[in-house]
Amino acid sequence: MSKLEPIGRLAFREEGRNWNVYYALNGTMEDSIWVGSIAMRFVDGPQNRRRKKEFMRLMRDCVTELLKELTGQTAVWPEPEGHKAPEGERGGSA
């Protein structure tokens, strides 16, 4: 079986009062596509872990659906919560 080559990623970024999600090519945020956002108050802190995971799953499902429509291929995501952002892109508490 051949190893899958990543073609993009979801980037979750705390920006102001929102947790914004972008689809971006690997290694860059240039030309990234905004996918969605949620107010930080709904996903921040230990009391909101379940909701945070649900939001992450929803964003993955939306991008999976879009990629399937555009390419005919089904996206494969790292589990259970993906990979951490590169050090230079990390921030916030979400």
pLDDT in tens, 11-69: 999 999 999 999 998 888 999 999 999 999 999 999 999 999 999 999 999 999 988 99
Tokens (6 digits) for 94: 């979400």
Assign 3-state DSSP to the chain and report helix, strand, coil percentages, each to 5.
35, 20, 45
Q: Are 51 and 42 in contact (CB under 8 A)?
A: yes
Whole-structure pTM value? 0.79
Q: Which tens digits make up the pLDDT trace of 23-36? A: 998 888 999 999 99
Q: 72: helix, coil or strand?
A: coil
| Region of residue 53 (phi > 0: left; psi between -120 and 50: alpha; otherwise: beta) | alpha
Q: For residues 83 and 94, give the distance between their C-alpha atoms in angstroms, rounded to a whole number.
A: 14
